[in-house]
Amino acid sequence: MSTMPAHAFLGCPSQNPPKIQDLAQAEIKKIQSNRPGQKEASDKVVASRDLNALQNVASIVMQKKAKEVYLIGQGGFNQVFAIIFEDGTDIIARINGSRALQDSDKPPAEIVRRIQSEFATIKFIQTNTTIPVPEIIFRENNFENNVGAPYSLQKRIIGQMMADIWPSKFNPSCMNGEQAVSAVKQIADFECQLLRYPSFDSIGSLEYDEAANEFRVGPLTPLYKLSTFPGFHPGPWKSSTEYLRSLIVLQKSILQQPDWLDDRRSFFTLMNTYGNDIPKIEDIDTEVRSDHAHFTAWYNMLEANLDHLDLSPFDPPHYPFVLLHEDLNIGNVMMDYEDPRKVVAVIDWEGSRVVPFWVGCSYSLIDNSNCGNDPEEQKIYRRMVETRDEIRKKNLDPSLWNEHTIPIFRSLFNLYNLASMSPTRVPVALFNTLLQRFLAARPQEEIELFHPMLELGLGYANESSKAVARLYGY
């Protein structure tokens, strides 16, 4: 099997934006190339929407005749349609539902609350920052409408996904070092703006009271089905400890779901296809039952140990609660076609939440992005990390972000991952590594407190689990 030779990383060229019809054709090809059933699922969702009603609403809102509608994209929770008017102008409609069917099992009330929170978050960003976000022209939050699902009309963002031009030896038209660093400077500044905002009073999801024209923090609006987990308290929370405890309870509830064992079997079956680098799991059923017993005991111990951790020094008034875009990655950053150094929008604010500062400062687009083994890729990646760190050092309060606090935050973030990472499709060895990294910067009494958990995890981790954890970078 031949490999593609590395190119010279000459940079992403300036280009004209594609026509809407070209975007529609690209989406058709993408759907057809996805796994079996995705095209049928996409067609089914589209067929359940009244696009004529959508055109009528667009015509009324924009006060001009809409003549064509094209499906140009979809993610996990929404389909995006371009609406073209008779005068040649256009807008987009973002309608709940997609080929992934991720909302198909959720009660409408949960979906509506999440959509309302995303609108509140976007409005908050527009009001309080310079971060470019989608411009919402009109929205319908409820399912009881002629279109058939909640939707919004938005100004179309003329941009390409950063993922499509991310530095890679496999993409001759990718960004070079200068372009990538320029983009990262902007994104790092956006991240700092979220971290600098005066503290919120709680942890949870943003809400907006239109009558009072004010923002507040309400219960969490996660992307999964809350009503499935009756023991989970969605907040809002007044402390990091309360927040972590609820996340642990959520993971314990997930373990009690009737389909957990089947989902874990599917994960192990997938692991067995990874190739010669991953030892095969011979007795999947035994491993599944073993992992279930391990995680059940493990989360019980983690919840009990939480009572002995004092996280109050990292809560207000010492450190703020801040807004977090939890899915900030190169697929949700849009770059200018003509000037690929320029960020034109940060999208997909669904699931955003207010979190402790030590959680918010540990998320970064750079950390959520892949870097290959090509020397030039790695060189560019290091420059981007250095640029991000320089921007943070320049723009964040030095009493909060300094050489002493950074290792502490990184340690605590491992604890957050332990509490928030679902046990269904993660190898046991990864949890062990996270626990070790958390304890690396903790006092001796806490190390002794958590030592039984570490022994339990090390005893359960099989060689395949350890190998997969290494693939994750742990």
469, 277 in Cβ contact below 8 A?
no
Phi, psi of 63 (to 5 degrees): 60, 40
pLDDT by position in tens, the chain (length 474): 445 555 678 889 999 999 999 999 999 888 888 777 778 888 888 889 999 999 999 999 999 999 999 999 988 889 999 999 999 999 999 999 877 677 777 888 888 999 999 999 999 999 999 999 999 999 999 999 999 999 999 999 999 999 999 998 888 889 999 999 999 999 999 999 999 988 899 999 999 999 999 999 999 987 666 666 777 889 999 999 999 999 999 999 999 988 999 999 998 888 888 766 667 888 889 889 988 988 999 999 999 999 999 999 999 999 999 999 988 999 999 999 999 999 999 999 998 999 999 999 998 988 877 777 788 889 999 999 999 999 999 999 999 999 999 999 999 999 999 999 888 888 888 888 899 899 988 899 999 999 888 888 766 655 655 555 555 555
**53-81 as b/e: b if 16+ CB within 10 A:** ebbebbbeebeeebebbbbbbbbebbbbb
Enumerate the β-bridge partners of residue 79. Answer: 74, 95
- Domain extents for the chain? 20-106+135-157
Task: With H, G, I as helix, E, B as strand and everything else as coil, classify residue 365.
Answer: coil
Question: Exposure of 266 by Cβ count < 10 A (0-12 exposed, 13-18 middle, 19+ buried)?
Answer: middle
Q: What does the angle CA 304 – CA 310 – CA 315 come to, to the nearest 5 degrees?
A: 120
Enumerate the β-bridge partners of residue 11. Answer: none
